[in-house]
Chains A and B, each alone.
Chain A
Amino acid sequence: MSMLEVNDINTYYGKSHIIQGLSLKVEEGEAVALLGRNGVGKTTTIRSIIGFTPPKTGDILFKGKQIARRKPEFISRMGMGLVPQGRRVFPNLTVKENLTMAARGAAKGGWSLEEIYRYFPRLKEREKNMGNQLSGGEQMMLAIGRGLMINPELLLLDEPSDGLAPMVLHDIANIVMQLQKKGLSILLVEQNIKMALKIASRAYVLNKGQVAWEGPSEDLRNNEELQQQLLVVSA
């Protein structure tokens, strides 16, 4: 049984048919990258999975259970963590409140506030600051920490590299790899191909709401032509 299995979903914004029969899988403990140019439906895929923009048709199985068209709070409670696009840290809550507001009892002995602070010492230093007083990198750490506090088995990461300085990017990538080694399953949406292929062992490339290519990260890394064709914005 896969951790996550998306089968032939179709998702709309109003009348726009954004996701057109997309399927993908994340196995337990696996890190999978979801790549593609701007506007091909990567974020909509994430929103379909977490339940923000439910797919009209198709199945989504999380740990073998149907979750398509269920409420986000239900899906989250099943053990799906979200680090959303744009981070969406609560600006009017302190760092500590951002982390603890949705904390759930560690069923699997999982994440506690202390553990998050051990991973991100910077957050401990800033725990009394408000969410909107943080730098981009700090917000990213907080968004990841917040996603972990619900003790997820699968973490959805939507463009963690967005707007981060190269140094910070490196740190974030390391943290995500550590999380994967700890056994967390990860679905990673990225514009930064290099970073994504470093973290993920498998990748899907989307085009116009469909999977245009899938395979091991290595194959994509070594295939410049494919990268040009599917990922690089034509000049």
Chain B
Amino acid sequence: MNLQNFSFETLIFQVLNGLAFSMLLFLLAAGMTLIFGLMKVVNLAHGTFYLLGAYFGYSIITLTNSFWIALILAPVAVGLVGLVMERFFLRPLYNKPHSNMVILTLGFAYLVGDLTTLIWGGDPKSIPSPEPFHQSVELLGRNFPSYRLFVAALGLLLALGLWLLLEKTRIGAIVRAGVSDKEMVRGMGINISLVFTSLFVFGMMLAGLSGVVAAPFQSFGLGDDLRILTYALLVVVIGGLGTLSGAFWGAILIGLVDSLGAAYFPSIAQFGIYIVMALVLLVRPTGLFNRATA
């Protein structure tokens, strides 16, 4: 354990860092878990759409010089790629065994991953923090990157918005009804395949958004798609497949463990998150928030 430079301030900073990362993970895991809940698709290309968001953001910023335009347009572009994937590739597989879809999404992950290298090259890219968050703010007598505070706040806001959308609107009710009984939803006159497409595109947009938002944190490039996919899968599994609140608390847990682990237990930080997952699953095999019965 590394306690030489332990201080209250450092702890707070690490927690804030962790929370900012948590919110990025939540944006990814939210789409992933809802798509699984409704469509039973385990999308192994989810991390790829995240990376695609970062690359699209990079190109849009290069063209327009504006992070904020990229923040809006990149997720839309990622959503369009998701639309193509769902309509033309996933759709024919809905009535086939799940393994087909898993292989397809994995294939997409590699295919799109290679394409990004072809287009943007293998060197890591980075995006500067946008105005007005490009400087640090003073916090407890030290400097803290204000952009991370922005990310944490944005994530919390989106989490609240997603929760309201799912729990308080008719669209949310249709999605939840679809999770429990798709056939009956169709028998009520609802075009479930349109719901599938919309949710998938929405999930991909969230993944793309998360990619743009993450880009000013650290450079990104080759391999980040599969790295972030692992995190997202951990969050989804820990929270309980198919539950939004699970994705939220799972993301907080993994984000904090990752950040605090790196600061205080550097020697085991690499697998700290896996230890947490193992412990959670030992106690609750279906995840933190999965109701045993629907």
Cα separation A73 to B174 with both chains bound (whole Å): 13
Known contacts A101-B170, A101-B177; is-contact A92 B187 (Cβ 8 Å) = no
* Chain A contacts for B191, CB-based, 8 A: 73
**A73 adjacent to B192 (CB under 8 Å):** yes
Contact of A55 with B by CB under 8 A: no
Cα separation A73 to B188 with both chains bound (whole Å): 7
> Of all chain A residues, which has the CB nearest B291?
A92
> Of all chain B residues, which has the CB nearest A53?
B183
Q: Which of B177, B183, B187, B190 contacts A93 (CB 8 A)?
A: B177
Known contacts A73-B192, A90-B180, A92-B179; is-contact A100 B187 (Cβ 8 Å) = no
Binary CB contact string for chain B from 164 to 208 against chain A (1 if under 8 A, 0 otherwise):
000000100110110111011111111110000000000000000
**A102 adjacent to B176 (CB under 8 Å):** no
**B184 adjacent to A84 (CB under 8 Å):** yes
> Of all chain A residues, which has the CB nearest B179?
A92
Cα separation A146 to B170 with both chains bound (whole Å): 14
> Of all chain A residues, which has the CB nearest B186?
A72
**B176 adjacent to A92 (CB under 8 Å):** yes
Cα separation A91 to B180 with both chains bound (whole Å): 7
Binary CB contact string for chain A from 86 to 100 against chain B (1 if under 8 A, 0 otherwise):
001011110001101
Contact of A140 with B by CB under 8 A: no
**B183 adjacent to A90 (CB under 8 Å):** no
* Chain B contacts for A92, CB-based, 8 A: 176-177, 179-180, 294
Interface size range of chain A in the complex: 20 to 34
Shortest Cβ gap from B37 to chain A (Å): 10
Known contacts A90-B181, A92-B180; is-contact A72 B187 (Cβ 8 Å) = yes
> Of all chain A residues, which has the CB nearest B168?
A97
> Of all chain A residues, which has the CB nearest B294?
A91
* Chain B contacts for A93, CB-based, 8 A: 173, 176-177, 180
Known contacts A73-B191, A77-B189, A102-B189; is-contact A90 B184 (Cβ 8 Å) = yes
In chain A between 136 and 155, which residues have their CB closer than 8 angstroms to a CB of chain B? 146, 150
Contact of A76 with B by CB under 8 A: yes
**B173 adjacent to A88 (CB under 8 Å):** no
**A82 adjacent to B170 (CB under 8 Å):** no
**A72 adjacent to B173 (CB under 8 Å):** no
**B173 adjacent to A101 (CB under 8 Å):** yes
**A72 adjacent to B183 (CB under 8 Å):** yes
**B180 adjacent to A146 (CB under 8 Å):** no
Shortest Cβ gap from B250 to chain A (Å): 20
Contact of A50 with B by CB under 8 A: yes
The residue in A73, A77, A132 that gathers the most chain B C-beta atoms within 10 A of its C-beta is A73
* Chain A contacts for B187, CB-based, 8 A: 50-52, 72-73, 76, 82, 84
Contact of A71 with B by CB under 8 A: yes
> Of all chain B residues, which has the CB nearest A77?
B189
* Chain B contacts for A25, CB-based, 8 A: none
* Chain B contacts for A102, CB-based, 8 A: 174, 185, 188-190
Shortest Cβ gap from B6 to chain A (Å): 45
* Chain B contacts for A77, CB-based, 8 A: 189
> Of all chain B residues, which has the CB nearest A82?
B187
Binary CB contact string for chain A from 49 to 62 against chain B (1 if under 8 A, 0 otherwise):
01110000000000
**A101 adjacent to B188 (CB under 8 Å):** yes
Cα separation A156 to B78 with both chains bound (whole Å): 43
The residue in B173, B187, B191 that gathers the most chain A C-beta atoms within 10 A of its C-beta is B187
**B183 adjacent to A100 (CB under 8 Å):** no
* Chain A contacts for B186, CB-based, 8 A: 51-52, 71-73, 76
Cα separation A76 to B190 with both chains bound (whole Å): 8
* Chain B contacts for A72, CB-based, 8 A: 183, 186-187
* Chain A contacts for B180, CB-based, 8 A: 90-93
> Of all chain A residues, which has the CB nearest B172?
A97
* Chain B contacts for A91, CB-based, 8 A: 180, 294
* Chain B contacts for A98, CB-based, 8 A: 177
* Chain B contacts for A52, CB-based, 8 A: 183, 186-187
Cα separation A93 to B179 with both chains bound (whole Å): 11
Binary CB contact string for chain A from 158 to 200 against chain B (1 if under 8 A, 0 otherwise):
0000000000000000000000000000000000000000000
12 more A-B contacts (CB under 8 A) besides A52-B187, A72-B186? A52-B183, A71-B186, A76-B189, A82-B187, A84-B187, A91-B180, A92-B176, A92-B177, A97-B173, A101-B170, A102-B189, A132-B294
Residues in A lying within 8 Å of B, measured CB to CB: 50-52, 71-73, 76-77, 82, 84, 88, 90-93, 97-98, 100-102, 104, 132, 146, 150
A sample of 25 cross-chain residue pairs with beta-carbon separation below 8 angstroms, ordered by A number, consists of A51-B186, A51-B187, A72-B183, A72-B186, A73-B187, A73-B191, A76-B186, A76-B188, A84-B184, A91-B180, A91-B294, A92-B294, A93-B177, A93-B180, A97-B176, A100-B173, A101-B174, A101-B188, A101-B190, A102-B174, A102-B188, A104-B189, A132-B294, A146-B188, A150-B189
Residues in B lying within 8 Å of A, measured CB to CB: 170, 173-174, 176-177, 179-181, 183-192, 294
